[in-house]
Amino acid sequence: MRIIHVCGLSGSGKTTLIRSLIPLLKERGPVAVVKHLGHHAFTLEEGKDTTFFIQAGASVSAGIDETKAVIITDQTHLRTVLDTLCILGMASVVVEGYKTLPLPKVIVGGVPGAENVVLDNPTPEEIIDSLGEFPEYISRATLARALETGERVVMTCGIPLNSRKYAPPVRREFYQRFLPILSALSREDPSMKGGGESRVHLHQGLYFGDDDRVIFAVGAPTAKEAFLAFSLMQTKILAAIAACGPSGPE
């Protein structure tokens, strides 16, 4: 799921750009937009059952009609929303706002002190041409779904690295050291027979305001083969983390 981060001051033209970008992205698959409301809290419609349920303490309240579904949740972390969008099968997500996150971003109209600027005042077509510059967000559910074919047994795991205590430059250096190793692990067959497969991904939490973590999934024809492959992959990942894990000044 490709994350295109768009930032700009109020009235800079962000909404116009995003509205023009959505049809181009949609040619490549389903599109979602996440807007950071900041200090402008979203007001729930008074007198509606979905509002009453949230006010009564429900963590999620949903309503479905013939053409759409509305979901209200008390979970406000960006990662939680992105995980949900992964489950829904989105191919692209445009994130508007969150100016302080160091996500690779598109700037509209100028943002003082912006980090990781990929494009400055681009056209929608220029964004499409630069999609490879923006990060992918992959969840455990995404990896598992890719392996759920036939009668396979699928096992997944997430290994947190507790890396928020390290300064951003240290975490970026870790990404540079670790990603080639992870790429090699992703290409390896973890000693599985009969059509088993594996998927490995480094969640670069620096960009999303949380910890780094390694997520992986294995799929095999039998539970025994899946368990053996899972154990072997976990051992390899832990060894890689120990060899080049984040280190340096906190």
Structurally, the chain folds into a number of domains equal to 2
The pLDDT, as a whole number, for residue 182 is 84
Q: How far is CA 242 from each of CA 66, 67, 231, rounded to the nearest angstrom? A: 52, 50, 17
61 and 118 in one domain? yes
**Tokens 């559910």 label which residue?**
141
205 DSSP assignment: G
In a domain, 47, yes or no: yes
pLDDT of residue 240: 87
Tell me the mean pLDDT per 10 residues along the chain, length 250.
92 92 96 85 83 90 90 86 91 91 89 86 95 92 85 90 87 89 73 69 89 91 89 90 65
Separation CA 10–CA 108 (nearest Å)? 10
Q: Which pLDDT score, from 0 to 100, does residue 193 have?
A: 55
Task: Tell whether 73 and 92 lie within a shared domain.
Answer: yes
Residues 15 and 124 in one domain: yes
Give a yes or no: residue 250 inside a domain.
Answer: no
Q: Which domain holds residue 110?
A: 2-133
Tell whether 249 is covered by a domain: no
Q: Is 60 part of any domain?
A: yes
Residue 151 in domain: yes
CATH assignment at residue 104: 3.40.50.300
pTM of this prediction exceeds 0.85: no
Residue pointed to by tokens 């943002």: 111
Report yes or no on 117 lying in a domain: yes
If one counts every other C-beta atom within 10 angstroms of the C-beta of residue 67, the result is 5
Q: Are residues 121 and 176 in the same domain?
A: no
Q: Quick count: other Cβ atoms within 10 Å of Cβ 93? A: 22
Cα–Cα distance for residue pair 158/205, rounded to 1 Å: 13
**Dihedral, CA of residue 205, residue 210, residue 211 and residue 216, to nearest 10:** -60
Q: Of 133, 151, 183, which residue constitutes the final position of a domain?
A: 133
- Provide the pLDDT for residue 39: 67
Between CA 197 and CA 142 the distance in angstroms is 14
Residue 239 lies in a domain: yes
